[in-house]
Amino acid sequence: MRFAVPLIVFVVIVGFLWVGLGLNPREVPSPLIDKPAPDFTLRQLHDPEKSFSNKDMLGKAWMLNVWASWCVACRQEHPLLVQMSRAKLFPVVGLNYKDTAADANRWLMEGSDPYVLSAMDMKGDVGIDYGVYGVPESFIIDKQGIIRHKVIGPLGPAELQNCVRPLIRELEQATGESKVSEEVKKACGR
């Protein structure tokens, strides 16, 4: 009995530490989920004469992938993006963040280009609108232009299979306002 109180206190502290230290402080939940994607119009990387606007993608479920040639973790997710584009899973648009056209093009030449196109956000203003704080980040956007999920850091095969693919499938099937099922929400950690 004498040890009961200290033991309980100890167990509670261990419980808090167990949960607390398991959380990733880098993963700050985005307030933009289930909100309309902020509008932007930017020049295209490959063809600076042409511009791209997020509104061009209305009617499609797609992914906006924020990347940069200076971003080390982008190299980590790059092969998966290339595989995805070969398999034609869904359109992936690149947002080339705080980069120069020369560096970005060189980077894409090194490997292959997984993007339908890349938009150049040289000053990072669009990045601020999207709440980007660490590259790479990916936004899954539905047919009506609503952000439905945000991947922080490099996209991994597990997250692609369990969360992103089923999510995009649901968004593609939706007519009118898309609804994300509870299973997918759970798989995406929401």
Partner 1 sequence: MRPMSNVGIWIKGAAVAVLLLLPLAQGVAKEAPPLAEDPVLEKQVNSITAELRCLVCQNQTIADSHADLAIDLKNQVRDMVHEGKTQQQIVDYMVQHYGDFVLYRPPVKPATYLLWIGPFLLLLAGIGVLLFNLKKRRQAATEASPLSAEESERLAQLLNAGTDRKNAS
Give me the residues that bind partner 1 (CB under 8 A), please: 25, 28-32, 38, 98, 124-125, 127-131, 133-134
Beta carbon nearer to partner 1, 26 or 88: 26
Beta carbon nearer to partner 1, 107 or 130: 130
DSSP-derived secondary structure for 135-181: SSEEEEE-TTSBEEEEEESS--HHHIIIIIHHHHHHHHH--SS----
**Least CB distance from residue 48 to partner 1, whole Å?**
22
- Written as six digits, the tokens of 34 are 């289930």
Beta carbon nearer to partner 1, 9 or 161: 9
**Least CB distance from residue 13 to partner 1, whole Å?**
12
**Least CB distance from residue 101 to partner 1, whole Å?**
19
174-187: burial string, b at 16+ Cβ within 10 Å, e else: eeeebebeeebeeb
